Structure 1
Amino acid sequence: MGHVDHGKTSLLDSLRNSDIVSGEFGGITQHIGAFVVPVSKTLSVTFIDTPGHLAFAEMRARGAQVTDIVVLVVAADDGVMPQTLECIEHANRAKVPIIVAINKIDKADANIKRTEQMLAEYGVQLESIGGDVIGVPISALKSINIDKLLEAILTVAELQDLKGDPGGPVEGTILESRNDTTGEQDDVNENIDNKGNVATVLVQRGSLKKGTILVAGKSVVRVRALYNEKGNQVEKASLSIPVVVSGWKTLPCAGDEAFEVESENFANRLVAVKKNEELAKKMEQDSVAVSQKHDEHLKKYREDLERRRATGTIFRKRARGSGQQIEDKEKKLRYTILLKSDVYGTLEALMNIINKYRDMRCPLDIVNTGVGPINDEDLEEASLFGATIYAFNTEVSHVMEMNAQKMKIPLKKFNVIYHMLNDIKDELTKRIPVVDVDDVSGTADVLAIFDITEKNKKIPVAGCRVTDGNLEKKLLFKLVRNGEVIHRDTISTLKHFKTDVQSIKKGQECGLSFTNHEIKFQKGDQIVCYTIRQVAQEAKWDFGF
């Protein structure tokens, strides 16, 4: 574990003699990978690679929960960074021992001593400065001291006296899940071809074999096949071995505990009970939420009614067709998406960030999410709801792209998480209407009220003194009473004594009347002369990184 770009995946490359980094878009790990490294004829170590990017906090937490030892990778040039601290917290919470790998010691600006001191400040005391935590200076890029790191891992494992039950019913944890119909490479299984729903399971008890029936969350599988990290079928997986399991009816969630049951009938009954419990809980939560919303709307209505009564504007004339106009406007002020990802863990990270969006000036609607390649059902659903399809690091066939074009469905493909989020934010920003800002030209106080008669009609006139700026007849005006805007209008008359004028300066007195002669003035009112300036708005959305 460690901060983004501190060299975790490069270290695993060195251990594995592969090149995972070149396959990671944007240079960062985007979901959990797991593989086994033999260290002797009888011993092997299973490594789990967790992302360092802030968006994947839950994956790191899961990684800490299922592991026996945390190797904390800290770059000697950067030192302790935000996700370094988060990883230390995850390890402490899971009560898992830490080994620190101080990486990038081959760099010119590497500072091992400073890194050790920074770690000590946050409670990680290395042996080199009198503590009890093993620290190993390494260079993952140049494979320096990798053997010493493995020795340290075996030493800590021996001290822990790690044991498991190889003979009981199978138990394990889902590291990752995906719908595999593309034949693309996978972190654990590099050559899975068209296996349907697959999940990476870390075996923690028993021996997993073909035909074993597992329940994980709300998913059931009769194991059809097991694949090791090289993509080869294996007959069984023993303790601490990660394997890709095919045959799932539905995709389990990353982090779900998997356990063996005696029959599919019993497994289905267990899942049915879980679903019913979740449905009942959701109905209860929805009922509370609806009640709260009703109370909020009622309170707001009453406050608005009292305000309008106080200002004499209880009744408002409704323009013809305004209902349809409002409906059309609301449609334009929404952005609807359908999101597909390569694996469940990445989808989970994306949804956690998307759910932080709270800017109701342009709501973000998610019509559906899923794992796997874009298919015909996705296109039909996107067409029905007018949604844009986002395909994150998942397969989009040429046929699907052509069909989307024919159906005029926007389809966007991304491989880096923050590029996709920025695109969604840009689309939301485009839909937020500009805000009209009043630029005040001048203000005047109403000192007297009188009527004049024109064409047998009485026209209310406000006798005013300009207190600031200028009043320009050609501009817009608003009537402010007790700090609240009562009316906005143009003026039909502006006089200085008996002379019609186009403008009045500060300190001068004038008489004016609104174009709408039904508006009544009161002494103490304020007349504000202004222009409208339109200001573009940006969607408020903090990704957290």
Structure 2
Amino acid sequence: MQKTRVYKLAQELNMTSKELIEKLEELDIKVTNHMSSLSMEEAEVIIELLGDKREEKEENMTKTEVEDIKDIENIEEQPKQEIEPEEIDFEEEDAYDSNAIIIGDTIVVGDLAKKLDIAASEVIMKLIKLGIMANINQEIKFETAEKIALDYDISLEREEKEEEAADIIIEEDEAEDLKPRPPIVTVMGHVDHGKTSLLDSIRNTRVTDREAGGITQHIGASEVTVNGKKVVFLDTPGHEAFTEMRSRGAKVTDIAILVVAADDGIMPQTVEAINHSKAAGVPIIIAINKIDKPSANIERVRQELSEKGLLVEEWGGDVIDVPVSAKTGENIDTLLEMVLLVAEMEELKANPDRNAVGTVIESNLDKGRGPVATVIISNGTLKVGDPIVAGSSYGKVRAMINDKGKRIKKAPPSTPVEILGLNEVPNAGDQFVVLASDKAARIIAENRKEKIRDEQMKASSKISLEDLFEKMQHGELKELNIIVKADVQGSVEAVRQSIEKLSNEEVSVRVIHGGVGAITESDIMLASASNAIVIGFNVRPSTGANTLVEREKVDMRTYRIIYEAIEDIEKAMKGMLDPEYVEEELGKAEIRLPFKVPNAGMVAGSYVISGKILRNAKARLVRDGIVVYDGTIDSLRRFKDDVKEVATGYECGIGLTNFNDIKEGDIIEAYIIKEVERK
């Protein structure tokens, strides 16, 4: 059945919606608001009764008004025609039955006024009554807009967005569809304990030689064949700055190999690796490396492992440990056999006959190939041409390259591959999902990006409007702004994490931008505008950026090793810090007998129980563990004599400045404030 909206019919009759609704009420036709629907029969009756309203209105106009209308019509090139009932285009009813106006989580004041068919000034007046000061171009929340709409008997509905959560797309597999898959093994441990060297022995590559300073600073994924069976290895960095990257490695892994140097033992990052593995709920195999060294002590390592809750089989526990030497290759085969044994016990399975789901291990922006993401497929089979969404990026798989550098068309479960075809660089750790169509991938990615942008805008607004100005006025906050550019996304996150850890109560170190690729002119301009330092990690500035650096006087620094960047920032912070003052306790005295002295107030007859009490020192009065006074010692006497100090074991009379509420049993703590060198 054909229908039309009230506001459309009002436009045809050259009336406002409000005027039409009043006329409809006179005709006993009930409508809720201007979005209400009318049947074709009702519309025809209304047209017959009110169709001549435009002509009457024009007859009553002044000559100037008529000419103005004609001028507008000429500009719009939309000549008016006589309205005949049969010429009205009645639209079919919309997909929803509700007469409510659909808006998003927020709406601009001017747009709301248009939707409600009222003047923007009316909306602004309503907002003022609600205690909200907003202009015509500002956004208001859905709840606020709903209150205003109710005043006009109009209902609003929140727009339903495309589902964003990947778990709604991912369905559980039937048991009969699952087939065995290769294990994904993560190699973890402390820096320089031989993780990558151990992998070198397994896959016969020399990854360490390519890393700056011999330290692995990216996550790598490789596939090897052990006794005819495939095993996927992930190599995670060992430096403490890469905690987040190690954490992601543990989350996508089936088995964790914990590398511990026999000559070094358990170190802080070894403990972190243990915690990540336990949190991920994966079995742990201990590889005690460097047993070829004269200082190697395997039993000491096992002792330290037991203290951390890992009791090896040699000591009656259930954790497998294998003493190995990455240098000589000793016991490498035994370690691999243990990996296959644990994998067999885990019964690892996946469904290859479904859309792929996996995790982005690493990502970077390649100059010739565009955004490149290293992913590992956890379920399903990834094929060239599949539409995918990874975090807030989307695209169609244009090409896939395996760990040997060969192009492939299909990637089954537990396969690490590089994929090309995304619209932008995803974040390392993002889950990727293959969807039914390009459109679905684009909608979900754009919704996610919009949500991230809204959160960033809110955070930015909160800092600038609520905290920053006030703290700057009071001198409470100083900021060191940093822009980070790196060769891969994982390094951006690692550098960001390390830098922001340097923040304290007085100096806030803020990474205002982080990105992948060379340092560009836009980075320098942002640094100039925000008074920031630009840090490049394994990247170089473009020619244009170098020119801008000199012109804008921006501090730009490039590094190959993360330690050097952190040290430089610490030096920059020291120049910004105010002098540090610390409290040094002098002594404590217990009040034994309070007494009143004429013209002097209450005096505390006290016994010094520790340290010493100094005249004019700062003091606090503690009663039942609660500080009830914090000020200074006004007077200090032994018998009738004024003294400068009273030592432990002596009695004295203590007068506190402007404080008389002292009681027996209270404790007076004397202290001084000292300035110390800032570290």
- TM-score, normalised by the number of residues in structure 1: 0.68
1:33 positional shift:
0.9
Say whether residues 1:6 and 2:193 are aligned partners.
yes
The residue type paired with residue 324 of structure 2 is: I
Name the structure 2 match of 1:308. Answer: none
Alignment match of 2:379 (pick from 185, 205, 230): 205
Say whether residues 1:33 and 2:244 are aligned partners.
no
The residue type paired with residue 32 of structure 1 is: I
Name the structure 2 match of 1:385. Answer: 530
Q: Is the 8 A contact 2:485 2:535 kept in 1?
A: yes
- 1:301-312 counterparts in 2 under 5 A? none
Alignment match of 1:394 (pick from 514, 534, 539): 539
1:386 positional shift:
3.1
Distance 1:60 1:436, change over 3 A: closer
Say whether residues 1:135 and 2:309 are aligned partners.
no
1:66 positional shift:
0.6
1:37 positional shift:
1.2
Q: Which ranges in structure 2 are unaligned for 5 or more consecutive residues?
A: 1-187, 583-614, 617-629, 633-641, 644-656, 659-673
1:535 positional shift:
7.8
Say whether residues 1:109 and 2:295 are aligned partners.
yes
Q: Say which SS state the counterpart of residue 383 (structure 1) adopts.
A: helix
1:440-497 per-residue CA deviation (whole Å, 9 max, x = no partner) reads: xxxxxxxxxxxxxxxxxxxxxxxxxxx99xxxxxxxxxxxxx969xxxxxxxxxxxxx
Q: Is the 8 A contact 2:381 2:412 kept in 1?
A: yes
Distance 1:403 1:275, change over 3 A: closer
Alignment match of 1:16 (pick from 199, 203, 215): 203
Matched residues in 1 for 2:380 and 2:580: separation?
A: 63
1:280 positional shift:
6.0
Name the structure 1 match of 2:256. Answer: 70
The residue type paired with residue 379 of structure 1 is: I
The residue type paired with residue 322 of structure 2 is: V
The residue type paired with residue 419 of structure 2 is: V
1:200 positional shift:
0.6
- 1:376-525 counterparts in 2 under 5 A? 376-397=521-542, 400-432=545-577
Alignment match of 2:515 (pick from 370, 380, 386): 370
Percent identity between matched residues is 43
Q: Say which SS state the counterpart of residue 271 (structure 1) adopts.
A: helix
Matched residues in 2 for 1:354 and 1:361: separation?
A: 15
1:330 positional shift:
10
Matched residues in 2 for 1:2 and 1:420: separation?
A: 23
Aligned residues: 420
Matched residues in 2 for 1:366 and 1:106: separation?
A: 44
Q: Say which SS state the counterpart of residue 350 (structure 2) adopts.
A: coil
What is the RMSD of the two structures over their aligned residues, measured on CA atoms?
A: 3.9
1:54 positional shift:
1.4
Distance 1:292 1:399, change over 3 A: closer
1:86 positional shift:
2.1
Q: Is the 8 A contact 2:500 2:511 kept in 1?
A: no
Matched residues in 1 for 2:430 and 2:463: separation?
A: 28
Say whether residues 1:255 and 2:429 are aligned partners.
yes
Q: Is the 8 A contact 2:500 2:509 kept in 1?
A: no
1:290 positional shift:
9.0
- TM-score, normalised by the number of residues in structure 2: 0.55
Distance 1:289 1:273, change over 3 A: same
Matched residues in 2 for 1:28 and 1:75: separation?
A: 15
Matched residues in 2 for 1:143 and 1:69: separation?
A: 21
Name the structure 2 match of 1:47. Answer: 233
Structure with bigger RCO (C-alpha 8 Å, 6+ apart): 1
Q: Say which SS state the counterpart of residue 575 (structure 2) adopts.
A: helix
1:46 positional shift:
0.8
Name the structure 1 match of 2:398. Answer: 224
Distance 1:199 1:364, change over 3 A: same
1:222 positional shift:
0.9
1:537 positional shift:
4.2
Matched residues in 1 for 2:464 and 2:526: separation?
A: 27
1:283 positional shift:
7.1
Distance 1:22 1:125, change over 3 A: same
1:284 positional shift:
7.3
